[in-house]
Amino acid sequence: MKFELNSTDQNSKARAGILSTDHGQIETPIFMPVGTSATVKGVHQRELKNDINPDIILGNTYHLYLRPGTELLQQAGGLHAFMGWDKPILTDSGGYQVYSLSANRKIKEEGVKFKSHIDGSYHFFTPERAVEIQRAIGADIIMAFDECTPYPCEYNYAKSSMERTHRWLKRCFEADKALPQLFDYEQTLFPIVQGSVYSDLRKESAHFIASMEAPANAIGGLSVGEPADEMYAMTDEVCAVLPEDKPRYLMGVGTPINLLENIALGVDMFDCVLPTRNARNGMLFTAEGTINIKNKKWENDFSPIDPAGYCFADLDYTKAYVRHLFTVNEMLGKQIATLHNLSFYLWLVREARKHILVGTFSTWKAKMVRQMEPRL
């Protein structure tokens, strides 16, 4: 994996770069749609590739490990072949899912024992096992196994959790070196900065992660309920420590405004379930604000979903029609909303990239943040 920094904005820390993998190039800043169980919910791979056109998507280690399982994925030739996707894929380590199963898991130094949400069976993830599973899944980018702390979180717990994450990281790198290559392409391990919302812990973690000299670095444990200002403050402090010549990935973020604010702080990569999950609940993100398409006010609005036309659906269907689909619980409504939201998110980060390259990012960002705030 190789990263080339093309341009840095003069009035912020925003950057434009190109990340090269064996499955293709990723132009940054980039948003990565989440394909939890080998699918971006509600979207055909053909629509994903031709209409939304992300440079990279996400797979979920925890869910893929449980179903269909790594043995079947290896038989298929890896996740790319299994799901019919020939561009880059990133898998998370399963750490966040284990965090979200707080009532059904037990953390020890060796690893985490957790209970499956599907059948109640018990499983044990260690840093070594998490790397082994991701190698078998076959993603281009794999994540270190970390402990994600909740918000709020006591300082002492955040500190001990961060230190455990650092010890686990060393084990992840050792496992990564020791494991044989299963596919004919490179798989790159990203470490993750933790430390909750404590400035000294975040800086300590960022210095430790930077010292590992990985090809890229991630920031985890944010967007877990903390106020946006705290998220931005932590991101800013971490980005000030992480090396400039390597991509920075902010995990699980966020709203369109969150994306622009964090791009301005020096983040290159994002993922989040928000555009897909909110789409299934009738929320449409636009450059002019947010629409709840289920509201009665759209009942006889026969204008296009979005005249900006981020994808074919925006101009092919009206707001009244999509509202009707949600009213009668037709799955097509959720599909159309998902297609729109993901297309908008990809347009947004690509537009940010264009403005970074020509030196107008800060002015454009300020205008877009104001514009996107209203609930329509």
Q: How many domains, in total, are found in the chain?
A: 2
Which of 224, 252, 272 is the C-terminal boundary of a domain? 272
Residue 236 a catalytic site member: no
Q: What is the pLDDT of residue 94?
A: 81
Are 292 and 247 in a shared domain?
no
Are 259 and 294 in a shared domain?
no
Are 233 and 288 in a shared domain?
no
Over residues 138-148, mean pLDDT: 96
No. of helices (H) and no. of strands (E), the chain: 15, 18
Residue 271 a catalytic site member: yes
Are 303 and 171 in a shared domain?
no
Write the CATH number for 173. Answer: 3.20.20.105
Over residues 90-94, mean pLDDT: 92
Give the residue among 291, 353, 349 at the shortest CA–CA distance from 323: 291
Are 137 and 232 in a shared domain?
yes
Are 159 and 181 in a shared domain?
yes
Residues 273, 351, 38: CA angle, nearest 5 degrees: 30
Its domain, for residue 35, covers 2-272
Give the active site residue among 146, 271, 306, 314.
271
Give 254-283 pLDDT, tens digit per residue. 999 999 999 999 999 999 999 999 999 999
Are 262 and 301 in a shared domain?
no
**Is-contact 262 250, C-beta < 8 A?**
yes
Give 289's strand partners: 286
Are 265 and 279 in a shared domain?
no
Are 280 and 300 in a shared domain?
yes
Give 16's strand partners: 7
Percent of the chain with pLDDT over 90: 93
Give the active site residue among 9, 55, 92, 314.
92
What's the pLDDT band for 159 if we cut at 50, 70, 90?
Answer: very high
Which of 255, 272, 289 is the C-terminal boundary of a domain? 272
